[in-house]
Amino acid sequence: EPEVTQTPSHQVTQMGQEVILRCVPISNHLYFYWYRQILGQKVEFLVSFYNNEISEKSEIFDDQFSVERPDGSNFTLKIRSTKLEDSAMYFCASSVGLGLNTEAFFGQGTRLTVV
Amino acid sequence: QQQVKQSPQSLIVQKGGISIINCAYENTAFDYFPWYQQFPGKGPALLIAIRPDVSEKKEGRFTISFNKSAKQFSLHIMDSQPGDSATYFCAASMDFLGGATNKLIFGTGTLLAVQP
């Protein structure tokens, strides 16, 4: 069964460092998302991406965050200068379309720990 | 208006019992209501979803009941099993025709423990 894969599974970084979280969405999907989940809290939307551009972003997704689809398969989330409060589980998701084809498939996440 | 409120925060059910988790929303533009199941260390996985044109959807032991006028929906797990022990999130999103991008607004989650 096709799945969204994320690497690494766990990333520890020092405050102020840049991190890149990587995702390989399901191959025929066109819409890509990043969500985050702070430990014990709900899953929160960060950004959606379609046709090589951001289609929507949340208040959390400030100038420290960026996304990119550098090639035909990868989808990355970059945090330029990490803060302690960026520590969370980051989930990539993808969907084949919108509307009736809404189902979003999630990867198993990257646990980011900022120390 | 973008919030989805979920209750209870945690739930303990005996094996074979019925688990019921409730969600409420305010934004009438929401038109897709999925439930996600999440096991520790894993990403959320779609369990079952409903659109507001029906009041109930059943898949195996899982049923969504939807009350459009009350802006509420609930997940019922019949004959609950220890393997159902997980965190359950309700969510909502708006159809792209409304200008949205199908981002999911999640509830706060319910930790379900099914005791053998």
Report chain A residues whose CB lies below 8 A from the CB of B53: none
pLDDT at residue number B41: 85
pLDDT at residue number A1: 76
- Please tell me the distance in Å from B68's CA to the nearest CA on chain A: 19
Which residues are within 8 A (CB) of B17 and not within 5 positions of it... i.e. 6 or more apart? B79, B80, B114
CATH topology for A18-89 is Immunoglobulin-like (2.60.40)
CA B2 vs CA A37, B10, B26, B42: distances in Å: 17, 23, 7, 25
Selection from A95, A32, A30, A103 nearest residue A67 by Cα: A32
pLDDT tens digits for A37-59?
A: 998 888 999 999 988 999 899 99
Residues of chain B predicted below pLDDT 70? 1, 95-101
Find the CB nearest A98 among B34, B45, B96. B96
CATH topology for B4-115 is Immunoglobulin-like (2.60.40)
| In the predicted structure, residue A101 carries a pLDDT above the cut 80 | no
Q: Where are the domains of chain A?
A: 18-89
Asked if A47 and A67 count as a contact pair (C-beta separation under 8 A), the reply is yes
